[in-house]
Amino acid sequence: MLGFLLMASGIHSTEDGALLGFDLPPGFPPPPTPGDNPLTEAKAELGRHLFFDTRLSSDGTFSCSSCHQPVHAFTDSRQRAIGVTGDIHPRNTMGLANVAYNASLNWADPRLNRLEEQMEIPMFSIKPVEMGISGHEEEVLTRLLGEPRYGELFHEAFPEQRAPINLENVILAIASFERTLISGSSPYDRYVYWDDRESLSDTARRGMRLFFSNELACSQCHSGFNFSGPVVLPGETPEPAFHNTALYDLDGAGSYPEGNQGVIEHTGIAEDMGRFRAPTLRNIALTAPYMHDGSLPTLEAVIEHYAAAGRAAQNPWKSSLVSGFELSAAESRDLVRFLESLTDRAFVEDPRFENPWDTP
């Protein structure tokens, strides 16, 4: 079944299952794939099963998809994520659309740029607990070994290994699945790349002009085919970019809440206070609430925030790009309509990305 879906969606494989590449959406470059984890159809299918499998948690009740739900463009609609033990996280769940291109892979760590390394955080972190596997590794492996599907799936994904069911291969497989999460067929894409003049309404087209205008400068941070910060292309390793958007200024000197202060937590450099990554705006209408801590509930609230040059506009570390602008109520509605046009229904409803445990 997966092979048919891969062919139908333009992902081609050889007879031995090695993915040769993607028929990518117009305007999209090939996503980079690490040489030590080549992308194969079998590995991606195993990763899909693991991504949706609650066995991969301390008590067998929580999966990757508990926080990354396809219907919400692989977010969870919560202000802040909640782990398997009920720990409330300091950060809002990021979406996974086009995650293969990201120059950095969480809100504020400039060092984290491989999906394989990122997977270790939700699986094994303890402050806060996410999937809670630390200390429960043997229990988790016992559950995986006891699932009949996995005997075949792991051996197909790692045919050179005699005993492939292990947590290292779990990480490799889920990272492979995540690299297939390509989103690029929204009404905006149809309008710009497919020359479908009917795909955008008049209001969305007006909003698009505002988005790309020098006055609003939205595209200064949310740029390129992914409407995000820097992207990684094959053979390129750009520096990730982070911005202080003046959400907080607790002491008049620019401080952010303890434990949620951005890049400074990794660098110790004062000017990194409050700096977070600009996420993709693709499918943004499905991923509310917004900002790194989910503190802005709607797209309208986000627009008001930037129009006011930030709700803590005097923050001394604020990005020079957050300078404010004037927008009428009608123009704000137009801008929201444009942002809504970045919703890719084919992506969130793609059968390749559905929960395989829901069907026999």
Is residue 142 scored above 60 in pLDDT?
yes
Please give the structure tokens belonging to residue 84.
Answer: 């398997």
User: 20: burial class by Cβ within 10 Å (0-12, 13-18, 19+)?
Assistant: exposed
Q: Which CATH class is domain 187-344?
A: mainly alpha
Residue 2: pLDDT band (50, 70, 90) is very low
For 12, 216, 357, the CA distances from 294, given in Å and listed in that order, are 38, 22, 30
Is residue 191 scored above 70 in pLDDT?
yes
Q: Report how far residue 224's alpha carbon sits from residue 228's, in angstroms, rounded to the nearest whole number.
A: 7
> Which CATH number is 2-182+346-358 given?
1.10.760.10
Task: Output the DSSP codes for 85-116.
Answer: T-PBPSSPPPP-TTGGGBSS-SSS-TT---HH
Average pLDDT score over the chain? 92
Q: Report how far residue 304's alpha carbon sits from residue 128's, in angstroms, rounded to the nearest whole number.
A: 32
Is residue 1 scored above 80 in pLDDT?
no
For 218, 223, 303, 306, the CA distances from 325, given in Å and listed in that order, are 11, 19, 10, 8
Q: Report how far residue 33's alpha carbon sits from residue 263's, in angstroms, rounded to the nearest whole number.
A: 26
Please give the structure tokens belonging to residue 280.
Answer: 């993709």
Q: Report how far residue 255's alpha carbon sits from residue 264's, in angstroms, rounded to the nearest whole number.
A: 11
Q: How large is the average pLDDT for residues 151-175?
A: 98
Is residue 13 scored above 50 in pLDDT?
no
Query: How many CB atoms neighbour CB 25 within 10 A?
Result: 21
In CATH terms, are 2-182+346-358 and 187-344 the same topology? Answer: yes
Q: Residue 88: beta bridge partners?
A: 82
User: 168: burial class by Cβ within 10 Å (0-12, 13-18, 19+)?
Assistant: exposed
7-16, 116-125, 171-180: range with lowest mean pLDDT: 7-16
Please give the structure tokens belonging to residue 85.
Answer: 């033990």
Selected residue with higher pLDDT from 7 and 237: 237
The CB-side HSE value for 230 (13 A sphere, CA atoms) comes to: 14
Q: Report how far residue 89's alpha carbon sits from residue 83's, in angstroms, rounded to the nearest whole number.
A: 7
Q: Which amino acid is at 130?
A: E
Q: How large is the average pLDDT for residues 92-117?
A: 96
Which one, of 281, 282, 307, 302, lies nearest residue 290 by Cα? 302
Per DSSP, the three-state class of 176 is helix
Is residue 8 scored above 70 in pLDDT?
no
Q: Where are the domains of the chain?
A: 2-182+346-358, 187-344
Which one, of 100, 89, 93, 175, lies nearest residue 132 by Cα? 89
Q: How large is the average pLDDT for residues 178-182?
A: 95
Task: Supply the angle between the helices 167-179 and 41-51 in degrees, to the nearest 10.
Answer: 100
Is residue 31 scored above 90 in pLDDT?
no
Q: Report how far residue 59's alpha carbon sits from residue 72's, in angstroms, rounded to the nearest whole number.
A: 25
Per DSSP, the three-state class of 309 is coil
